[in-house]
Amino acid sequence: MKKGQTLLALMISLAISSALLLVVSRFYTNIQVQNRQMLLRLKLQAELQRTIQLIGKDLRRAGFRALNNKLIESNVSLFELDEKGLALFISQANNAPKNSCALFFYDLNANGCIGEKFTKNTCLNGGQNVAKGIEKEFFGYKLNNKMIETKQTYKSAINAKCQSTECQKALQQTACNAGGGWTDLLDENEYEITHLQFHLVAEGKGVEIQLAGSLKSHPAIQYETAMVVALWNQ
């Protein structure tokens, strides 16, 4: 005659099974949370790496001016900040962290001048700029209210018929302030930038970019990175 399970044994069995299910459930939940955090960290890392690479690629061009055999006289010297051809200015907006703004220019369309168009094979006339669209070859990046902003210089920001001192206004501290075409580089609803700084290194032959940020919805998820960019055209 076979004996069945007692009620006590059944209860013990159910208790053990429930405990095991609870452990497995918690383990699975923890794995899910860890996986989600990992994906969020990777998302932040990828976005900040993409951003610093973009800034670095742009900064690497600072001061570039193409050779144009048909050009009689270039206007590049009007915009250079010193006799060595400095085309990069590092400062900060009012009340912003030190060295959190970089302004620079380069010959984007490789026509030998700063500006989109010129006539009669020259960009100068009596020490005065005659090229058109010079504002389209000025660039900038800055930290503002936990966001990276990029600069698209307005046409009204620079006098098209400028001479040296006036031509350089786009590379002064005041150009780091609000207005003048500054727009967010990242989605402000997703990212917060906690640190952006530019430092000249190797006697001005390079610039170090430091960048750090977090996810707006998960402030504890943070990432920081840095890179050094060679300034071949300086």
5 or 227, greater pLDDT: 227
* Residue 124 located in a structural domain: yes
Instruction: For residue 66, count other CB atoms closer than 10 A to its CB.
Output: 14
Q: Any bridge partners for residue 73, and if so which? A: 122
Residue 202 forms part of a structural domain: yes
pLDDT of 6: 77
pLDDT digits (tens, 9 = 90+) for 152-175: 777 777 888 999 889 998 899 999
pLDDT in tens, 161-218: 999 889 998 899 999 997 768 999 999 999 999 999 999 999 999 999 999 999 999 9
pLDDT digits (tens, 9 = 90+) for 46-87: 999 999 999 999 999 999 999 999 999 999 999 999 988 899
pLDDT of residue 168: 92
Q: What percentage of the chain carries pLDDT values higher than 90?
A: 71
**Residue 35 domain flag:** no
Q: Is residue 211 part of a domain?
A: yes
For residue 129, what are the domain limits?
A: 41-230
Give domain status of residue 215, yes or no.
Answer: yes
Mean pLDDT for all residues in the chain? 90
Query: pLDDT-derived band of residue 97, with 50, 70 and 90 as boundaries?
Result: very high
What's the confidence (pLDDT) of residue 180? 67
User: Of 77, 130, 131, nearest to 109 (Cα)?
Assistant: 131
pTM assigned to the model:
0.84
Q: What is the pLDDT of residue 144?
A: 94
Residue type, 206: G
16 part of a folded domain: no
With 0-12 / 13-18 / 19 or more C-beta atoms within 10 angstroms meaning exposed / middle / buried, residue 38 is exposed
Total of domains in the chain: 1
The per-residue pLDDT for 91 is 97
Listing DSSP states for 54-95 in one string gives HHHHHHTTTT-----TT-SB--HHHH-SSTT---EEEE--TT
Judge contact between 169 and 156, C-beta under 8 A. no
Let me know if residue 26 belongs to a domain.
Answer: no
Domain-located, residue 7: no
Burial class of residue 161, CB neighbours in 10 A (0-12, 13-18, 19+): exposed
Side-chain half-sphere CA neighbours of 128 within 13 A:
7
At 16 the pLDDT is 80
